[in-house]
Each structure stands twice: as C-alpha cells, then as structure tokens.
C-alpha cells in the first residue's frame, strides 16, 4: 500500500516536471517587417499594432526588417520568418505566386480614403447677396407665404358671404385682398382696411395674431443669423453625393482615390503634393479632396494653419493584413488578440495616439 503511494507520488512529480517548463515557456516567433520607405507613418502604426497584439497573445518575437516586398516574401517562403507584417493589401497578396500556401489575418487597421473641405470661406459681396437671397426665398419667405396663403383662402371662404365684408366674391380679388390682410397682420402693422365680420373670422384672426408675433420674431432672427453666418461661411457637405459635377482633387500616386471620385460623378483634378492639394481646397480652387485618411489627419495635425476640415465621410478599401503560412500554430491566439483589441477600442486609440505623437 505504502509502496503504491510513493510510486504514484513519484509519477506525479515526474509529470509535473515535464509540464512546468512547457507552460512557463513563452512562445517565440520571427516576424518579418516589410517597411517601404514611402510609408513610414503607416509602417510605424502597423508595428505598434503588432507589438500590442503580441503582448496580448503572450508572444515573444524577433524582428527582421526589409523595404523590399520580394525579399520579404522570399524570407517567409524560405522559413526565415513565421509572420509577415507591413502595409500589405489584399491585391498585393494576390500577386504573390505561392499565395495558396499562405493564410492572412485582417489587422483591423482599415485603409480608408478621407475627404477634406474648406473650414471657412471669405465671400465677396456678390456671393453674400446670392446666398442670402437663396436663403430668404427658399428657407424663410416661402414657408411663411405658404402659411399666410392657406389662412387667406380659409378667411376668404368664411368672410365672403357676410353682407358687410370688404372681401369681394371674385376668388382672385377676394383671396388677394385676404392675403394682403394677413401680410399686414403678420408684420404687426395692421392698417384696418380689412376687418373680420363673422365670429369664426374673428377667432381665426385672433389666434393668428399671437402666432404671427412669434413667427415674425423667428423670421427676423433667422435672417439676422444667416447674415452673421456669412462672415464665417462654412462649406461642409452632408453627403458625398453633393460632389457630383464638382472639381475634386486627388494624388496621382493614389489611383483608388481617383476611382472614388469617378464613382461619385465628380471631376478629378490630379496633384503631386498633398499639402498643395490642401492649400487649393482651402482657397476654394477645388470643392474637396480625396486622399488616404491617415495622411490627411497627419497633414492637419502638422499644419493647423490650413483652413481645411476632415469630413466624417470615408471610403473603405479594406484592411492591412498579417500574412502567415498555412497551419500557423499561433493563428488562433493572434485572432483572439486582434478581436480583443478591436472590441476594447484599443486599435482606434492606438492609431490616433500614433498620429498625434508622430505629428509633434
């Protein structure tokens, strides 16, 4: 009995001695970092993202860097690395001849085109008058006239049969005079040349007088606010569809931005410099600009004097990828880590912090 007890204890200790080194050992892999020279900011953000993923997944790693995509693929194919990171897009992976031997994970770091528009615009006198008239007729005067016309017709229908009514039976002249009465009442002038004679006519007129006082105040206040707003006129857009037929800038090095502009039936205007493109947007030489959202954010951080604003509209082009060979043993761990970081909002925060840090 005692012999069996010691035998069992010895076997258990041996088993634990085998397991403990395995559990205590942290997995270590070799990561190939493809870092093209023309995408330093994106490279740094992806590297920061990978470090967060590795820490979350409890992975140690050695880093091998190259700015040549072919060399990066050769290292991965030759077993000199376990994982390839960098600004890899799906179309890049498809061009690789041995792509069927590999698997990829979305990094949850999205590739978006952003849109910038002028923050404020200095208008000349003609533009101010045009915009003011457009507002006055379309948004201020038309609703008021519609309201006055409806009650002018109702007032005429009620008052026309009264023997002492000033309103003629002829519809055109009668409604016209009724409209005059309501306009005079609305402006709080009240000439007294037309007065209600019937009980219902007096009820409608009395009720409307209180409404007209409030309505006239709102009418005047809205016009005053519009005049004041013209001094700091903004040209934000409520949808990308508003760009149809307008000049929209893009960089020649970003063919996806050109495709986005054509999709919205705008007129593409090519540029070679991102900053010059933003300057022309601010000067109202082009209505807006499409470019990589990350680059636009950094540009605005680095040049706060630019009179441009990044709109909330983006055009999604997929996500950067992590590439690995099929049956990569830590794929599940990486997937869980990426999901956890995205769910907690850490990826978006990491991108924002990286942009602010690199822009200082």
User: Per-residue DSSP letters for 198-217?
Assistant: SHHHHHHHHHHHHHHHHHHH
Please check the confidence at residue 115 and state whether its pLDDT lies above 70: yes
According to the model, what pLDDT value does residue 230 have? 65
Confidence band (pLDDT; 50, 70, 90) for 23? very low
According to the model, what pLDDT value does residue 194 have? 85
* Residue 303 and residue 22 in contact, taking contact as beta carbons nearer than 8 Å: no
Q: Please enumerate in sequence order all residues whose Cβ is within 8 A of that of 87, keeping only pairs 6 or more positions apart, or say none.
A: 34, 36, 39, 42, 43, 46, 320
pLDDT per position as a tens digit, 193-212? 888 888 898 898 888 888 88
> What integer is the mean pLDDT of 287-296?
88
The separation between the first and the last C-alpha atoms of the chain, rounded to the nearest angstrom, is: 74
> What integer is the mean pLDDT of 68-97?
80
Token pair 């615009």: residue: 121
Please check the confidence at residue 280 and state whether its pLDDT lies above 90: yes
Please check the confidence at residue 276 and state whether its pLDDT lies above 90: yes
Q: Please enumerate in sequence order all residues whose Cβ is within 8 A of that of 144, keeping only pairs 6 or more positions apart, or say none.
A: 186, 215, 219
At residue 87, φ and ψ (nearest 5 deg) are -75, 65
Per CATH, 21-111+318-359 and 125-232 having the same topology is answered no
> What integer is the mean pLDDT of 231-239?
67
Helix (H) or strand (E) holding 288: strand 288-292
* Residue 311 and residue 239 in contact, taking contact as beta carbons nearer than 8 Å: no
Second CATH level (architecture) for the domain 125-232: Orthogonal Bundle (1.10)
Please check the confidence at residue 148 and state whether its pLDDT lies above 80: yes
Q: What angle do CA 183, 185, 189 make, to 5 degrees?
A: 100
8 burial level (CB within 10 Å; 0-12, 13-18, 19+): exposed
Q: Which residue has the higher pLDDT, 96 or 348?
A: 348
Range with the poorest average pLDDT among 35-49, 95-109, 267-281: 95-109
Please check the confidence at residue 303 and state whether its pLDDT lies above 50: yes
Q: Which two tokens stand for residue 302?
A: 């680095």
Q: In what order do the strands lie in the sheet with 59-66?
A: 59-66, 27-34, 83-85, 308-325, 102-118, 288-292, 247-251, 267-271
Please state, as a whole number, how many other Cβ atoms lie within 10 Å of the Cβ of residue 273.
10
* Whole-model pTM over 0.95: no
Q: Which residue has the higher pLDDT, 74 or 18?
A: 74
Q: Which of 120, 88, 81, 118 is nearest to 104 (CA)?
A: 88
Mean pLDDT of the chain, nearest integer = 81
Please check the confidence at residue 269 and state whether its pLDDT lies above 90: yes
Q: Which long-range contacts (CB under 8 A, 24 or more apart) does 66-70 make?
A: 66/32, 66/33, 66/34, 66/35, 67/34, 67/35, 67/36, 67/37, 68/34, 69/34, 69/36
Question: What's the sign of the alpha-carbon dihedral 48, 49, 53, 56?
Answer: positive
According to the model, what pLDDT value does residue 275 have? 92
Please state, as a whole number, how many other Cβ atoms lie within 10 Å of the Cβ of residue 227.
13
Q: Is the domain defined by 116-121+236-316 classed in CATH 3.40.190.10?
A: yes
β pairing state of 288-292 and 83-85: unpaired
Which residues lie across from 63 on neighbouring strands? 31
Domain boundaries, the chain: 21-111+318-359, 116-121+236-316, 125-232
Say what percent of the chain tops pLDDT 70. 84
Question: What's the sign of the alpha-carbon dihedral 18, 23, 26, 30?
Answer: positive
> What integer is the mean pLDDT of 262-279?
93
User: How many CA atoms lie within 13 Å of 319's alpha carbon, on the beta-carbon side?
Assistant: 16
Please check the confidence at residue 101 and state whether its pLDDT lies above 90: no
CATH, domain range 21-111+318-359: 3.40.190.10
């Amino acid at each position: 009995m005692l012999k069996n007890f010691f035998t069992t204890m010895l076997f258990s200790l041996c088993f634990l001695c085998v397991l403990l080194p395995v559990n205590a050992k942290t997995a270590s892999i070799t990561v190939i970092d493809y870092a093209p020279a023309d995408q330093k900011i994106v490279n740094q953000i992806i590297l920061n993202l990978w470090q967060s993923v590795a820490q979350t997944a409890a992975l140690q790693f050695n880093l091998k860097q190259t700015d040549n995509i072919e060399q990066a693929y050769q290292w991965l194919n030759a077993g000199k690395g376990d994982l390839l990171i960098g600004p890899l897009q799906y179309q890049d992976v498809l061009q690789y001849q041995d792509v069927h031997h590999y698997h990829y994970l979305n990094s949850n770091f999205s590739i978006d085109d952003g849109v910038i528009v002028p923050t404020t615009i200095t208008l000349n006198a003609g533009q101010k008058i045009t915009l003011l008239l457009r507002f006055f007729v379309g948004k201020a005067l038309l609703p008021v006239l519609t309201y006055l016309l409806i009650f002018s017709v109702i007032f005429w229908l009620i008052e026309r049969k009264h023997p002492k009514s000033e309103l003629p039976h002829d519809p055109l002249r009668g409604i016209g005079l009724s409209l005059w009465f309501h306009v005079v009442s609305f402006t709080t002038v009240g000439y007294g040349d037309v007065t209600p004679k019937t009980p219902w006519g007096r009820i409608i007129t009395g009720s409307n007088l209180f409404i007209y006082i409030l309505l006239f105040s709102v009418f005047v206040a809205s016009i005053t606010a519009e005049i004041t707003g013209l001094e700091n006129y903004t040209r934000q857009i409520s949808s990308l569809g508003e760009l149809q037929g307008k000049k929209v800038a893009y960089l020649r090095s970003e063919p996806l931005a050109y495709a986005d502009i054509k999709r919205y039936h705008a007129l593409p205007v090519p540029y070679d410099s991102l900053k010059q493109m933003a300057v022309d947007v601010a000067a109202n030489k082009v209505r807006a600009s499409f470019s990589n959202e990350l680059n636009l954010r950094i540009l605005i951080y680095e040049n706060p004097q630019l009179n441009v604003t990044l709109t909330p509209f983006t055009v999604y082009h997929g996500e950067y990828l992590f590439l690995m060979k099929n049956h990569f043993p830590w794929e599940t761990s990486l997937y869980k880590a990426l999901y956890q970081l995205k769910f907690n909002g850490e990826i978006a925060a990491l991108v924002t912090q990286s942009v602010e840090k690199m822009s200082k």
